[in-house]
Amino acid sequence: MLCQFRILWIALFLAGYGLALGDPAPAEIAPAPGSEGDTLTKEDKRMAYLVYKLLDKNGKIKGANLKRGEKLFYQNCRGCHGLDGKHINFTPMETRPTYLGNRARDDMPTFWYQMNFGDETREGMEPFYDELELDEMVDIAGYAQTLP
């Protein structure tokens, strides 16, 4: 009698142990991109796309069509930033000015974020997230890196 109980306990123990070692709880599995459980914001996604798909190891944009980028820049950005991107200096208090070309070359994540989402704390730069297609922004970003 006692012996039978002992076997039952061992069986229960082993079953519990097996469960604990089994598949991880669903919460530990990363949700598939675009699925219901995917909680990345559009900002996160755009920035991740830049880092994983667009930047080479020197911070240069890969795969941009510069000819089309030039045209799109002319249509969408030149009005404020100027044909050479030098109408607006982003660091007016410093001795060395920072123009669009400098920012695009030296700090593409900032450039990319501002072009996509603007900057609520500063006036004038509107988000282009809903205005331009992703591939158009890639071309503009690549072209901006060639500005003086």
Residues that bind ligand HEC (CB under 6 A): 76-77, 79-81, 88, 90, 100, 103, 110-111, 114-115, 122, 124-125, 128, 140, 144
Q: How far is the CB of 74 from ligand HEC (least distance, A)?
A: 10
Specify the residue, 13 or 110, whose C-beta has the smaller distance to ligand HEC.
110
Specify the residue, 42 or 85, whose C-beta has the smaller distance to ligand HEC.
85
Q: Which residue has the tokens 């994983």?
A: 52
Q: How far is the CB of 52 from ligand HEC (least distance, A)?
A: 20
Which amino acid makes up residue 137?
Answer: M
Output the residue with the shortest Cβ distance to ligand HEC. Answer: 124
In angstroms, the CA 19 to CA 16 distance is: 5
Which amino acid makes up residue 146?
Answer: T
Q: How far is the CB of 31 from ligand HEC (least distance, A)?
A: 31
Q: Residue 91 corresponds to which tokens in the numbers above?
A: 């660091």
